A and B are shown apart, each in its own frame.
Chain A
Amino acid sequence: MRALLLAVIAAAAGATAVAAEIAPADRRSGYDFAGPESREMQDDDAANPGMLGVLQGETLWATPAGTAGRSCADCHGDARAGMKGVAGRYPVFEPVLGRPLDLEMRINRCRTEHQGAAPFAWESEDLLALTVFVSHQSRGQAIAPGDGAELRPFVDLGSALFRRRQGQLNLSCSRCHDDNWGKRLAGAVIPQAHPTGYPVYRLEWQSLGSLQRRLRNCMIGVRAEPYEYGAPEAVALELYLMKRARGMPLETPAVRP
């Protein structure tokens, strides 16, 4: 009897955790929570400062690098055709490493494996520029992460991390972004945390920044120890967030306050 009661409680707890996830019809991009000035800036390619990164990335795409002396274009061809829809599928599972890689990690892996070049530093101008250039080719395309069985444990890990309370403020991602989106945290509106426009041009940063930088930013905000760049936990969270936002269109480069 007691075991049955516990099972019922556990099932009820499980049910509330599932119910907390935002229904597909209610999902909204950070764009909808941004002010009219930020939205206008994002919509106009002549005013969107993220386009400076796209411009730089276009140059890098065609520039030979490393001991192989090959450029991205030498293998992948015209990015406008070849990279269309790619960003929406990341992070993807890399069989050699046995773990998923996000787009930044894939670019750096391409550099070390195929170009014989040194990897770009995390959040360096060059890495952000190439990433934003590649992601920009998928603007308007739906987020469509893979659903292979090999990804499942990583999605589950990301989902668990999203719900785990952490830091001195004892908050989970879900507490704000599932349960309290649309309300205010001090002066700022809490968005739903859909990664629809990364790398984003954040006005607070006055530069482009990756999704991992944004995650670290939030973790520092709740006084938790942030994950290192490229840490398996960070990529699992990215993967879960992409799963959570599947079907939403990409906006890269997005402009956010």
Chain B
Amino acid sequence: MARVLINLPARAKRGEVIEIKTLIAHVMETGYRLGPTGVAIPRDIIQRFVCTYNGEKVFGAELYPAIAANPFIAFFTVATESGEIAFSWTDDRGQTQTEVRQITVE
């Protein structure tokens, strides 16, 4: 896996509700399609998305084959303290992509 776009404010006020938008490049192959030779293309989707805020899970999602390629996931959380927001996507091949962003809370 590779390319990821994450959009969140670099700074926020304590207690403020912030929106986080994530976009990851992934084929999200359903497993239901047949290739040119008539052989089924093996399923390859992101199964799980988790967002942790200073180690605590604040958002998670399970993904299924009907979700389009390059999944866009947006959600809200409360800015509690400065620190790290980590994002991880795990796919059918067992690969996990992890990205970390910093947030400053005043």
Contact-residue size bin, chain B (C-beta under 8 Å from the other chain):
10 to 19
Q: Are A52's CB and B5's CB within 8 A?
A: yes
Contacts of B28 in A (CB 8 A): 206
CB distance from B37 to the nearest CB of A (A): 20
B7 interface residue (CB < 8 Å to A): yes
Q: CB within 8 A of A51: which of B2, B5, B68?
A: B5
* Majority-rule SS of A interface residues: loop
> Which residues of chain B have a CB within 8 Å of any CB of chain A?
2-3, 5, 7, 21, 23-25, 28, 68-70, 72, 74
Rounded to whole Å, the gap between the CB of B6 and the closest CB of chain A is: 8
- Chain A contacts to B: CB under 8 angstroms: 44-47, 49, 51-52, 55-56, 203, 206-207
**How far in angstroms is the closest Cβ of chain A from B55?**
25
A46-B68 contact in complex given A51-B23, A52-B25, C-beta closer than 8 Å? no
Complex Cα gap A52–B1 (Å): 12
Q: Which residues of B contact A45 (CB under 8 A)?
A: 5
Decide if A203 touches B5 in the complex (CB within 8 Å): no
Given contacts A47-B23, A51-B23, A55-B5, 18 further A-B contacts (CB under 8 A): A45-B5, A46-B5, A46-B7, A46-B21, A46-B23, A47-B21, A47-B72, A47-B74, A49-B25, A49-B69, A52-B24, A52-B25, A55-B3, A56-B2, A56-B3, A203-B68, A206-B69, A207-B69
